[in-house]
Amino acid sequence: MNVKIADSWKNRLSDEFEKPYFAEVVAFVKDEYAKGLVYPPGKLIFNAFDKCSFEATKVVILGQDPYHGEGQANGLSFSVNDGVRSPPSLQNIFKEIQDDLGIEIPRSGNLERWATQGVLLLNSTLTVRANEAGSHQKKGWEKFTDAVIKSISDEKEKVVFMLWGKYAQDKGAMIDGKKHLILKAKHPSPMAANYGGWFGTKHFSQANTYLKDQGLDEIVW
């Protein structure tokens, strides 16, 4: 499959791209794009891998689906395009960063600035039908992103994994906690965050403290 991703990812995932299940994913996704509106735009499906190389990855933030509203999804988990109002989950992420690190809430919800610093903003499912959350789940994407997470866990050390909500935490079973820092919290969506377990978790300062202790550059959140 010819996709626009960093060469380091292309080399590691080339075998995955050749597996029968991935051919089924490609066929399904192509059919979905042909039949109706699907997000993100096709050229941005692998944007997370293009903006953050394997070598540069030092933090992984795992989402579930791309946003399914018009003009929102840009291929980076929790991120939206410039000029698009930040969805409630992203607003809560920014509020926690403000409380944790004293950083003002930014005007733009485009998180590409995180990706270019080594934050892999990975959704478990890389595409979604417009206005239908979860519509592309259980079509094979999860198997692919499992392979991505396992590759990071096996081949790298000292990576921070931020697992928010049960869905992300279940994916954490393949992460070696002896080699990496695993941070768990409730999902930042209002439904979960407003009942406690998100605000006050201080994941962003914890991540930076860990990175600094490992001799790595901290993330400018």
**Over the stretch 11-52, which tens digit does the pLDDT of each residue have?**
999 999 999 999 999 999 999 999 999 999 999 999 999 999
Measure the CA–CA gap between 141 and 147, rounded to whole angstroms.
10
One-letter amino acid of 5? I
Residue with tokens 């299940």: 21
Measure the CA–CA gap between 52 and 120, rounded to whole angstroms.
6
Does 176 participate in catalysis according to the annotation? no
What pLDDT is stored for residue 194 in this prediction? Answer: 80
- What is the distance of C-alpha 72 from the center of its chain? 15
Average pLDDT for residues 164-188, to the nearest whole number? 93
Q: Could you say which of 65, 82, 170, 217 is catalytic?
A: 65
Q: Kindly report, residue by residue over 55-107, the tens digit of the pLDDT.
A: 999 999 999 999 999 999 999 999 999 999 999 999 999 999 999 999 999 99
